[in-house]
Amino acid sequence: MEYGFVDCHCHISAREFEEDLEDVIQRATEAGVETLIAVTEEVGEFGRVLQLHERYPDLVAPCFGIHPLQVGGGSEQRSVKPQDLDAALPLFYQHKEHLVAVGEVGLDFTPWCAPTQQDRDNQMEVFIKQLSVAKELDLPVNVHSRSAAKVTIATMREQGISRALLHNFAGKPSVALEGVQAGYLFSFPPAVCRNRQRDKLIKQIPLEHVCLETDSPALGLEKHVRNEPSNIALSCRYIADVKGLSPETVQLVTAQNAYRLFPKANRC
């Protein structure tokens, strides 16, 4: 069976795509993208991602999640608080039929984003609560782990999570292998092509545990240029190059991995 690309982690409901969404979608399908796993960061996005799923039912696979960083008063990011999750919780249950995963959830212990222990405790509380929702709804989790790779994987293992995608993973290879052991998958965006920093990591993770993502509109080839799902081929070619495989093999295996992890996306 032939598969197209699966973008396992993108923000297609982001404001950056509002003005030319149809063109973005068209470029994605022309590039061979078959499924967009559409993550959310805050409750205000939930409705938008469902609308996009209704509009593109064969393409957009919606996820609900509250990200460890939230936008504060201005455009500054602040660490998530437990009350940020309150309005979201009933919606997970209300729309569970449509959801393919709980995400984007996780931990971000970057010092300027989570400067205090209280910030980290709040993030942990919100993360654990969403992991329990995922277990209850029998859904995988789509996970952010910045400056917190080891503790994120350890927490998921402690909470009995067996199905997880660690997106844009940048932890140590030894930490990644703990995740591999737990059965978790790892995805890499086009930004990995900017330098060779993650070659060792990509080499060590077995292909059966690798997925493709764009994280669009962020993490593209150029730092301040909007990224979009059509760029997923860049990640594919880069991973193929690092692993010494053909891009066709990487495309096929990563798509199979994605549908194994997100079985509901296969029925989109």
DSSP 200-255: HHHHHS-GGGEEE---TTSS-SSTTS---GGGHHHHHHHHHHHHT--HHHHHHHHH
CATH label of the domain that carries residue 22 = 3.20.20.140
The segments of the chain whose pLDDT lies below 50 read none
Residue with tokens 């690309």: 5
If one counts the domains in the chain, the total is 1
Task: Give the per-residue pLDDT at 243.
Answer: 98
Q: Is the dihedral of CA 40, 45, 48, 54 positive or negative?
A: positive
| Nearest-angstrom CA–CA distance, 214 and 228 | 7
Which structural domain range is residue 211 located in?
5-267
Task: Give the per-residue pLDDT at 76.
Answer: 80
pTM above threshold 0.85: yes
Task: Give the per-residue pLDDT at 267.
Answer: 58
Q: Phi and psi (nearest 5°) for 71?
A: -80, 130
The structure tokens listed for 10 are 């993108």
Are 232 and 212 in contact by the 8 Å Cβ rule? The answer is: yes
The residues, ordered by sequence, that sit 6+ positions from 8 with a Cβ below 8 Å of its Cβ are: 37, 142, 165, 167, 185, 187, 211, 212, 213, 258, 261, 262
Task: Give the per-residue pLDDT at 1.
Answer: 63
| Nearest-angstrom CA–CA distance, 52 and 12 | 8
Are 71 and 95 in contact by the 8 Å Cβ rule? The answer is: no
